[in-house]
Chains A and B, each alone.
Chain A
Amino acid sequence: MSQLLWPLVRFLLLIEVAASVNFFHHRYEQLVQALFNVHNECPDITRIYTIGRSVQGRHLYVLEFSDSPGIHEPLEPEFKYVGNMHGNEVLGRELLLQLSEFLCEEYRRRNERITRLIWDTRIHILPSMNPDGYEVAANQDPDAIGYLTGRNNANGVDLNRNFPDLNTFMYYNEKNGGPNHHIPLPANWKSQVEQETLAVIHWMSRYNFVLSANLHGGALVANYPYDKAQEQRSRGYQRKSNTPSPTPDDKLFRKLAKAYSYAHHSMHQSPTCGEQFADGITNGASWYSLSKGMQDFNYLYTNCFEITLELSCDKFPPQKDLEKEWLANREALITYLEEVHQGIKGLVSDENNNGIAGAVISVHGIGHDVTSGDQGDYFRLLLPGTYTIAASADGYRPQTVTVTVGPAGPSLVHFQLKQDTIKGPMEKKAPATSLSSKALQKKVVPRAAHKKTQR
């Protein structure tokens, strides 16, 4: 039945009656014009900001959609879409521009579904993470497009191999104990990343993103973490690279990936570009192992769950295909956005109802915690089911509750933590991670033991 979701689009989303939009490949200047045009059309629900510049000085513009642009409202989740990280994989860039125009236009038309989405979500759209690479790719003769021309940034670096490698630490911690989230960055990381990467890392630190997708091209599949294989070269032979490398949230990630692939016109109906993916999804490492990618970094360094969407066989599809591709992806882009509203969310506060930032929310049995944001609100995506949830914060007594998560909408689970009176004032000032990491060691070790029995 689910293969038929695509035509249902037209039920769920109002049929497009908006004036015909121009479908063309936007060069940098046209992209800027298009973004400002959307912002000017919908000034009350949008904001444009820049997260930095590319090597050649192009702005990395982000368009934000929210009912109160520029402000994080507690309990309203933050979502991001990132396009065109590889300069020559251009469909995502165009889809995100179309999506921006669509959200604005449908909001103005009072489309119920889109209005609700914008009221309940803060959406950040970065149509191009690699605008320099794009220009190189777009300067080619359309009849002789190089497979990799324009992929890298202006320094010749592949941005999706440029994030600090935290997987190694995570895999080590899983076996030996240590944090299972917000893995600290290596001391010299800034000198090892490109300007675009740096801008994105700062961006990810500034906003408490909950869900994200990174739009690529060259295949048709929704790819979920980990990208990096867990097995290392050992005892002199190379293990197969196509062994899956699941995260503790594997089931959830598979559901997120399927949400996209099944709402897409054809992604779920493999094979498309010669490769077969059941349900149109794949674990990154089981496809091919990739180190220092952005997707794994999101999961290991922030609260954000990111998947990588490969959206077209052709990395630089001809202009005439853009409208068709938009229609094939439109419902999926909206459906995936709506996935941010599931699981549990709530406020962690002290006895005086002040939010506690950085509180750790752990789900029993899932070795990946999340933390509360600046205002004490947290978001934990979860599949329907019954869970034991613990909230802990430095200087407070942990609290544990059992909650049932339904299929529709997130359950509100608030925590009010009491000060830990046993601890002296000196201990309260201990580094923020000390308490939680002790608790985590206990949690992680059984998981590691479990893993050993699997292999």
Chain B
Amino acid sequence: MMFPRPLLLCLQGLLLGRFAQACPPPCQCYDGTKVFCSGEEIWGIPEGLPGNATQLFFVETSLTAVGSGAFSKCSSLARLVFLNNPSLALGAGAFGGRPSLAELEVSGSNLSALSSEAFGSLLELRRLFLTFSALRGLEPGLFNRTPSLEALHLQGNKIETLPPKIFSPLRELRVLDLSHNPMAQVPDRLFDPLALLQVLKLSDIRLTRLPLGIFRPLRSLEELSLDRNALADLPPGAFSGLSRLRRLELQHNALTSLRPCSFSCLPNLDVLNLEGNRLSALPAGLLRGTPKLGQLFAASNRLETIPEGLFRNLLQLQTIVLSHNQLAHLPAGAFRDLSSLTTLQLDHNQLTALAGDTFHSLLSLEVLALAGNRLQALPEGIFDSNDYLLGVALKDNPWVCDCRLASLAGWIRNWSAPLNSQTFCASPDHLKGWALPALPQEQLVCLAAPGPADSSLSPGEAETARAPCTYSDPEGTVQLAGDTATGHRLTVHLPPQGDSTGRGLAFESDRVLNSSCGTVRVWVTIRAEPGGTAREEEAVSHTPPF
């Protein structure tokens, strides 16, 4: 099928011939310095690795033991990577005499223990990955002679406990990842020496509580991940002192409540994720100490409402996600001042009505999710100030498809149809099951004046809805009846026909119509095409409050 094997090897030989160094047969060598060895047929470190190799990779081999001095001939080795070598074991001093080593990775092995002498003296080691293996713990002193470490990745092992002073020598550490280990608890002063640490990942380590003050020494910390644990509570001041923190991930824990001061001293916090907890309320002052908050995720909690003023002064807030809660109503002015907000997700809650000005302050709003609520109608003009709105998701609400939805439906057809193809009417009966964007505008009518028991309108609005304005010119030739809720009806009393031109119906008029609600100027043109259908053109110029 393929090239005959000898020919292939020969070809490779030719291609690699310009590099003087030989490459041991099971491996490939590139640029004379990068060596890749892969394949289950490799049982031991191949003989004859090029002496000037700087990077050495073992991928899916059957390597068992890497003994002392295994790489002693590779004096300039900077990077040594073992990927998914299941049987690999590292003996004491396996990397001894490799002072040049800057990066070491052992991942996907069944390695369950490491001798405290495994690394020997690796003074230049900057990045160490011991990941997705079966390490049960680390011996005290393991890092005593790797003082330059900047990134330490231990995720995906079976580490249950760590010696309290294990990180003491790592004064240069910037990134520490302990995720996916069954640790359950962290020694109180484990992180004390890590004053330069910027990223700390403690995701999915079965944490049930945070020791008091455990993060306080981390003055440089920018990202802290505590997601997928079992935290039921955050102790007071858990994050105090983290003045550089930008990202805090607390999603998928068991938090039932937060203190007003939980996040009080985080002046640089940009992303706060509280998704998937058991929060039934948020304290009003929760976000007062986080003036730079840009994104708040609180979906999949048990929130019934949000406190008034929760978002006050959060001028940089761009994203709020409150999906999948139990929000039944929103306080007046809940989103006031959020002029930077682009995304607001309120889908899958219990909202039955929205005030007409709910979104008026959101001058940058682009995306709004209202799907999966109990909305029957939206007040007219609810999106009037959202000039940048690009999409509104409305499906899975019991929409009443009558004249009150007419303007919204028109807007959806033009702007959000793909999102709302599954937006169906719940009533009236004859439109039940129709997709709103597919409904012709003429179908969205109010056959009778809307009843007073309309839960989707606030009492004030319902009052207005029942008081129609009828505009008329003094002669009563042109009348325009309508209001904000029921749509508009234009009546034109045409002069008697029978003029001798034989051109049939034609009418042109420019009138000013008056009513108790204000004034409207209307141009009405009705033209008849010879032998064809009448064409009607109309232009209406509005004056307030119409």
A2 near B2 with CB under 8 A, answer no
B319 near A15 with CB under 8 A, answer yes
Q: Does A37 contact B (CB under 8 A)?
A: yes
Q: Among the listed stretches A28-36, A122-130, A278-286, A303-311, which one makes contact with chain B, having 4 or more residues with CB under 8 Å of it?
A: A28-36
A15 near B321 with CB under 8 A, answer yes
Question: Bound state CA distance, A41 and B225, in angstroms?
Answer: 16
A1 near B28 with CB under 8 A, answer no
How far, in Å, is A198 (CB) from chain B's closest CB?
6
Question: Bound state CA distance, A197 and B92, in angstroms?
Answer: 45
In chain A, positions 373-390 with a C-beta closer than 8 Å to chain B are none
Question: Bound state CA distance, A43 and B321, in angstroms?
Answer: 30
Q: Among the listed stretches B410-418, B440-448, B457-465, B480-488, which one makes contact with chain A, having 4 or more residues with CB under 8 Å of it?
A: B410-418
In chain A, positions 1-36 with a C-beta closer than 8 Å to chain B are 1-2, 4-5, 7-8, 10-11, 15, 17, 19-20, 28-29, 32-33, 36
Question: Bound state CA distance, A40 and B391, in angstroms?
Answer: 38
Residue of A nearest to B422 (CB): A408
> Hey, which chain B residues are within 8 Å of A198, CB to CB?
1-2
Question: Bound state CA distance, A232 and B30, in angstroms?
Answer: 44
Q: Does A202 contact B (CB under 8 A)?
A: yes
How far, in Å, is A296 (CB) from chain B's closest CB?
23
Residue of B nearest to A43 (CB): B132
> Hey, which chain A residues are within 8 Å of B345, CB to CB?
11
B367 near A10 with CB under 8 A, answer yes
Residue of A nearest to B28 (CB): A57
B297 near A15 with CB under 8 A, answer yes
How far, in Å, is A14 (CB) from chain B's closest CB?
8
A11 near B2 with CB under 8 A, answer no
Residue of A nearest to B391 (CB): A8
A7 near B108 with CB under 8 A, answer no
Question: Bound state CA distance, A195 and B415, in angstroms?
Answer: 50
A1 near B415 with CB under 8 A, answer yes
How far, in Å, is A19 (CB) from chain B's closest CB?
6
Question: Bound state CA distance, A154 and B15, in angstroms?
Answer: 9
B295 near A7 with CB under 8 A, answer no
Question: Bound state CA distance, A109 and B273, in angstroms?
Answer: 13
> Hey, which chain A residues are within 8 Å of B197, CB to CB?
none
> Hey, which chain B residues are within 8 Å of A56, CB to CB?
12, 15-16, 28, 30
Q: Does A341 contact B (CB under 8 A)?
A: no
Residue of B nearest to A6 (CB): B390
B57 near A32 with CB under 8 A, answer yes
In chain B, positions 105-120 with a C-beta closer than 8 Å to chain A are 105, 107-108
Q: Does A240 contact B (CB under 8 A)?
A: no
A1 near B30 with CB under 8 A, answer no
Q: Does B38 contact A (CB under 8 A)?
A: yes
Question: Bound state CA distance, A202 and B2, in angstroms?
Answer: 10
Q: Does A250 contact B (CB under 8 A)?
A: no
Q: Does A327 contact B (CB under 8 A)?
A: no
Q: Does A451 contact B (CB under 8 A)?
A: no
How far, in Å, is B80 (CB) from chain A's closest CB?
11
A33 near B105 with CB under 8 A, answer yes
Residue-wise interface mask of A (38-69) relative to B, using a CB-CB cutoff of 8 A (1 in contact, 0 not): 01110100001000100111110000000000
A29 near B418 with CB under 8 A, answer no
How far, in Å, is B187 (CB) from chain A's closest CB?
24
Q: Does B438 contact A (CB under 8 A)?
A: no
Question: Bound state CA distance, A270 and B319, in angstroms?
Answer: 30
B297 near A17 with CB under 8 A, answer yes
How far, in Å, is B481 (CB) from chain A's closest CB?
32
A29 near B57 with CB under 8 A, answer yes
Question: Bound state CA distance, A15 and B251, in angstroms?
Answer: 14
Q: Does A190 contact B (CB under 8 A)?
A: yes
B249 near A19 with CB under 8 A, answer yes
> Hey, which chain B residues are within 8 Å of A120, CB to CB?
none
Scoring A5, A10, A33, A57 by chain B CB atoms within 10 A of each residue's CB, the highest score goes to A57
Q: Does A135 contact B (CB under 8 A)?
A: yes
A33 near B83 with CB under 8 A, answer yes
Whether A8 contacts B367 in the complex (CB less than 8 A), given A36-B84, A195-B2, A198-B2, comes out as yes
Query: Residue A37 contacts which of B107, B271, B367 (CB distance < 8 angstroms)?
Result: B107
Question: Bound state CA distance, A154 and B30, in angstroms?
Answer: 13
B81 near A2 with CB under 8 A, answer no
Residue of A nearest to B55 (CB): A29
Query: Residue A19 contacts which of B34, B38, B83, B225 (CB distance < 8 angstroms)?
Result: B225
Residue-wise interface mask of A (162-180) relative to B, using a CB-CB cutoff of 8 A (1 in contact, 0 not): 0000000000000000000
Main secondary structure of the interface of B (DSSP, over half): strand
Question: Bound state CA distance, A40 and B129, in angstroms?
Answer: 13
A29 near B393 with CB under 8 A, answer no
Question: Bound state CA distance, A29 and B366, in angstroms?
Answer: 41
How far, in Å, is A308 (CB) from chain B's closest CB?
25
Query: Residue A8 contacts which of B251, B321, B419 (CB distance < 8 angstroms)?
Result: B419
Question: Bound state CA distance, A15 and B81, in angstroms?
Answer: 34
A40 near B132 with CB under 8 A, answer yes
> Hey, which chain B residues are within 8 Å of A58, CB to CB?
28, 36
How far, in Å, is B335 (CB) from chain A's closest CB?
17
Residue-wise interface mask of B (297-310) relative to A, using a CB-CB cutoff of 8 A (1 in contact, 0 not): 10000000000000
A7 near B390 with CB under 8 A, answer yes
> Hey, which chain B residues are within 8 Å of A10, CB to CB?
343, 367
Residue of B nearest to A3 (CB): B390
> Hey, which chain A residues are within 8 Å of B3, CB to CB?
195
How far, in Å, is B43 (CB) from chain A's closest CB?
19
Question: Bound state CA distance, A41 and B34, in angstroms?
Answer: 26
Residue of A nearest to B83 (CB): A36
B107 near A7 with CB under 8 A, answer no
Q: Does B397 contact A (CB under 8 A)?
A: no
Query: Residue A36 contacts which of B15, B59, B295, B413 (CB distance < 8 angstroms)?
Result: B59
Question: Bound state CA distance, A39 and B60, in angstroms?
Answer: 13
How far, in Å, is B82 (CB) from chain A's closest CB?
10
How far, in Å, is A110 (CB) from chain B's closest CB?
8
> Hey, which chain A residues are within 8 Å of B79, CB to CB?
29
Scoring B55, B369, B419 by chain A CB atoms within 10 A of each residue's CB, the highest score goes to B419
> Hey, which chain B residues are within 8 Å of A5, CB to CB?
418
How far, in Å, is A166 (CB) from chain B's closest CB?
19
Question: Bound state CA distance, A43 and B390, in angstroms?
Answer: 38
> Hey, which chain A residues are within 8 Å of B98, CB to CB?
none
> Hey, which chain B residues are within 8 Å of A135, CB to CB?
30
> Hey, which chain B residues are within 8 Å of A154, CB to CB?
15
Residue-wise interface mask of B (249-266) relative to A, using a CB-CB cutoff of 8 A (1 in contact, 0 not): 101000000000000000
Whether A40 contacts B418 in the complex (CB less than 8 A), given A11-B393, A17-B297, comes out as no
Q: Does B156 contact A (CB under 8 A)?
A: yes
How far, in Å, is A30 (CB) from chain B's closest CB?
10
Which residues of B line the A interface, CB within 8 A?
1-3, 11-12, 15-16, 28, 30, 34, 36, 38, 55, 57, 59, 79, 81, 83-84, 105, 107-108, 131-132, 156, 201, 223, 225, 247, 249, 251, 271, 273, 275, 295, 297, 319, 321, 343, 345, 366-367, 369, 390-391, 393, 413-419
Query: Can you pick out 29 interface pairs between chain A and chain B where the beta carbons lie within 8 Å of each other?
Result: A1-B414, A7-B390, A8-B367, A8-B419, A11-B369, A11-B393, A15-B297, A15-B321, A17-B275, A17-B295, A17-B297, A19-B201, A19-B223, A19-B247, A28-B30, A32-B57, A36-B59, A36-B84, A37-B131, A40-B107, A41-B156, A56-B12, A56-B28, A57-B12, A57-B28, A58-B28, A190-B1, A195-B2, A195-B3
- 4 closest cross-chain pairs (CB), A and B: A40-B132, A57-B28, A7-B390, A8-B391
Apart from A19-B223, A56-B15, A56-B30, list 14 A-B contacts with CB within 8 A.
A1-B415, A2-B418, A7-B391, A11-B367, A19-B225, A20-B223, A29-B79, A29-B81, A33-B105, A39-B84, A40-B107, A55-B11, A56-B16, A190-B1
